[in-house]
Structure 1
């Protein structure tokens, strides 16, 4: 088999290996992962993959032609939305699965045990990094139950409006990281005169100062050096308390997993994303939660999700996000089709419609229980959607702030990504890349093509890794030290 057809309705197939001219009817060389027309497609006619429109023929296309950016054009699709018409029941759970997690005082469960140094503004970023850098591996040996001291710094917090989408999103991110179950203690560091005042955050979100939640401002303390010294002292006092936390058996229903993809290729929607979708279904069957994000990367596939919405209100909330993004890109002189990157296109993806149809598969098949703002707490178990850009660090930052304690990240081109405080599992879409980047990839979903593995088989492998990583097993991203620089709150609005 040299090509794969995803639906009998499709008029293209995907090359499993590079096709030479004349091979399998190809009229020219077709790279692996790229599309070949199976019939003549007239100029202006729709091109179908996944039994859905992925674009329109920019020229007449003959059977056997390579279909890609040179002859396939994007057009905005006017969707017909249905609500709650495709509500499949959750898979039956034959066992009650558990993992070894950190049960917090409020009842929620973490998969890691970090101390976070959070900054209100870029001006305190250096102080936060200096504080965290003090706690070297050697100093942490006396605290084996603490995963580390991590500085979460960003480039905003001032020069912004004191209300509105941007300000509220930043505050939700800070509150969300402070409240994430993987964070056992928090030190907030500010400058003092910034727009994003720490006191406002504490008051707005009902945070309670105490031994494991403290704050300070450089201007009040008396400068950078004194702030760093004070911050180190405060964390030294937190460490013995945090180290007393121990793992205990917790039900899989307590897990919330961020469903993410990056460096996608044509195989993402054929192997890794459907397999992750099955893992999400298995998690939901246990009462757990999977959170899909990246709103620009469901564009053109949102009608498949509204049909799975538990009611019309949930579905209309998702459509509202799509409308906002269409207006947002138009105002900023962009296009929704700007999303596929050069790497995505080299891997065979041509339009955002094609990319989105594959990306949406990460959400599995169970009902959509809720749609949330960026970094808004996810409150209902099941399959959820959170608004975010397609930019991976900004999207994952929002998912962690929403409460995700694990990240499952599919990649075809080979993204080097990690996120603290929530460990990132990397799932390769193809065996070639998995073999080349074996130090970075945790699971090879490419076996679905190369070894004949079933999507459900790989999905269960991913789900079982959820439980092991949640219990403390290191991912390859963690082992390589990734995650300290991937905290990127979405910056919305003008910088003033």
Structure 2
């Protein structure tokens, strides 16, 4: 049965409205009742007590704000009457060794069907990459894409071109602007797609970007590290790399970054330098021959059983809402804990969205060095944001605020629940790779695509992406599973949502039950089942330029 409100933690002094509550609604609570003194929209927070100016607002058991205007019991919390606030933290922490390990007996013998690589990693997909080392090569990358994608059977399936043709016909028939705006156009058609020439290759991905030259030399080094992470990724069979020749991101720099990640790198890798080869025609023709030969090699690979310990899951949220922290995020947190218990790896990123929960993560760190590195990276990131006139407190988007996430601390406390309760085994600075099983913290922005791009570059072979507002975000090489925090979103945008955890809000399912359902789906996706983002051809790729993004 669906309840009216939820109290997330015993120490909280606010409640979350699980449905729209008109002013004057009586809410049975403990030995009495609370009456709303204002309309409380679903996902928003109401005061459990009378608040005075300067009082602390607590959610998830942590400080998430301070009161700046008095709020009566049953009143609505807004950006006008509360402001962002967090507690300070001790970077040395308590380093708790024990944690409530979930029972994973039923999952111990489960496997997924993946692509086994020479370095021991296992991919959930099998892609070929075509990458520019510098933005000057983006056009040549696009030329290669036009030459390869359709004839190899990797073209987009849906076309809206028939609707354009219909609009042209209406205009030629003399229809007015008003009639054009009201026209009932036919549903977009699926284009005829050729069968894949290489059935064991999931696709050819073209990773254009705006980096590689200009900026500072550290930008080039970081970009090469990220690209090396994609080239050595278990979901990648090999790559074609185009270099201009004179840019900051030199071929030798990329090769060094590849060796850092895999000293015995043996995948097919073709690197072409335009200033050495000469004409565009020579460059493109050579790249086509080499890429085609690489695809022939990649197609020889087949899926084989692999233990769940070979999964590395990225944990991401975007378009978050007031339900994210009580449905999808804790359900994903349960998946995280189950996978860690099974010997797998998980990545919790988005450092601006860990603001206010630092002490918990410090206390969960396995040793002093891990805790201190987390603290150091958090402080450096926060300082860099302040230096350009911003700060973590400016992280929530207009959509976040509209749907109940009023402060960054409130957003962060819910976002951190994706990481479950297992120990923090490593803290990584972007774009370092995951090398340890367990929960890894990765320094990235809160920006959805930059963070997802980074998590995959660090080794995530599946990404669990929770959303309360809806986003089509995907990734070029890793399946991004879109998980709705609420049932109305799942019904409104079924074309981009893979799973719905609004069932928790609706009282139909527990967090643990939803987590098990998600893990079962992850196993199917890791074995080749297509997610919505892949069906839509959503292949977002944005490298992070340090210090300019929240």
| TM-score, L = length of structure 2 | 0.86
Equivalent residue, structure 2, for 1:107: 120
Change over 3 Å in CA distance of 1:9–1:330 after alignment to 2: same
Instruction: Find the counterpart in structure 1 of residue 102 from structure 2.
Output: 91
Tell me by how many angstroms 1:27 deviates.
1.4
Aligned length: 490
1:186 maps to what in 2? 239
Deviations 1:307-345 (A, max 9, x none): 111112111111111111121111111021110000000
SS at match of 1:130: helix
Which of the residues 4, 7, 20 maps onto 1:5? 7
Kindly report which structure 2 residues correspond to 1:130-279, keeping only aligned pairs within 5 A, or say none.
Answer: 130-140=143-153, 141-162=196-217, 164=218, 166-206=219-259, 212-279=268-335
| Partners of 2:483 and 2:55 in 1: CA distance | 35
Deviations 1:47-88 (A, max 9, x none): 111121110001111111110101011135322452312630
Q: How far, CA to CA, are the matches of 1:89 and 1:2 in structure 2?
A: 30
Deviations 1:371-418 (A, max 9, x none): 001120111101111100111111111111111111110000111111
3, 22, 38: which one aligns with 1:28 = 38
Please say if residues 63 and 86 of structure 2, whose CA atoms lie closer than 8 Å, have aligned partners that are also in contact: no
- Spell out, residue by residue over 1:115-161, the C-alpha distance to the aligned partner (whole angstroms, 9 max, x if none): 00111111111211221332234424221001111111111110122
Query: C-alpha separation between the residues in 2 aligned to 1:45 and 1:242?
Result: 61
Q: Distance in 1 between matches of 2:547 and 2:498?
A: 37
Q: Please give the alpha-carbon distance, in whole angstroms, between the structure 1 residues aligned to 2:123 and 2:46.
A: 47
SS at match of 1:156: coil
Q: Secondary structure, in 3 states, of the residue corresponding to 2:426?
A: strand
1:74 and 2:84 equivalent?
Answer: yes
Whole-angstrom CA distance in 1 between matches of 2:471 and 2:503? 19
What are the residue-to-residue correspondences of 1:333-344 with 2, within 5 Å?
Answer: 333-344=389-400
Q: Is the aligned partner of 1:61 residue 2:71?
A: yes
Match of 2:385 in 1: 329
Q: Residues 171-224 of structure 1: CA distance to partner in whole angstroms, max 9, x if unpaired? A: 210110110010101111121111111123214543789781010122222233
After superposition, give the CA deviation of every residue in 1:435-459 in whole Å (9 maximum; x if it has no partner): 1011111111110011430000000
How do residues 452-467 of structure 1 correspond to structure 2 at under 5 angstroms? 452-467=508-523
Q: Which deviates further from its counterpart, 386-395 or 85-94?
A: 85-94
Cα distance in 1 between the residues matched to 2:221 and 2:97: 34
List runs of 5+ in structure 2 lacking aligned partners: 27-34, 154-195
Q: What's 1:124 paired with?
A: 137
Matches within 5 A, 1:240-389: 240-389=296-445
CA distance in 1, matches of 2:17, 2:67: 19
Moved more, 99-108 or 123-132: 123-132
Partner of 2:191: none
TM (normalized to structure 1)? Answer: 0.95
Pairwise CA distance, 1:473: 0.4
Moved more, 339-348 or 1-10: 1-10
The aligned counterpart of 1:491 is 545
Query: Runs of 5+ in structure 1 lacking a partner?
Result: none
Match of 1:434 among 475, 482, 490: 490
Question: Is residue 335–residue 516 contact of structure 2 (8 Å, CA) maintained in 1?
Answer: yes
Residue 109 (structure 1) shift = 0.6
- The range that moved more, 229-238 or 89-98, is 89-98
CA distance in 2, matches of 1:298, 1:311: 19
Alignment partners' CA distance in 2, 1:474 and 1:213:
27
Give 1 or 2 for the bigger CA radius of gyration. 2
CA shift for structure 1 position 97: 1.9
Find the partner of 1:15 among 14, 17, 28. Answer: 17
Aligned twin of 1:49:
59
Q: CA separation of 1:176/1:209 partners in 2, compared to 1, >3 Å: closer, same or farther? A: closer
Find the aligned partners of 1:492 and 1:72 in 2 and give their Cα distance: 31
Structure 2: distance between partners of 1:301 and 1:350: 16
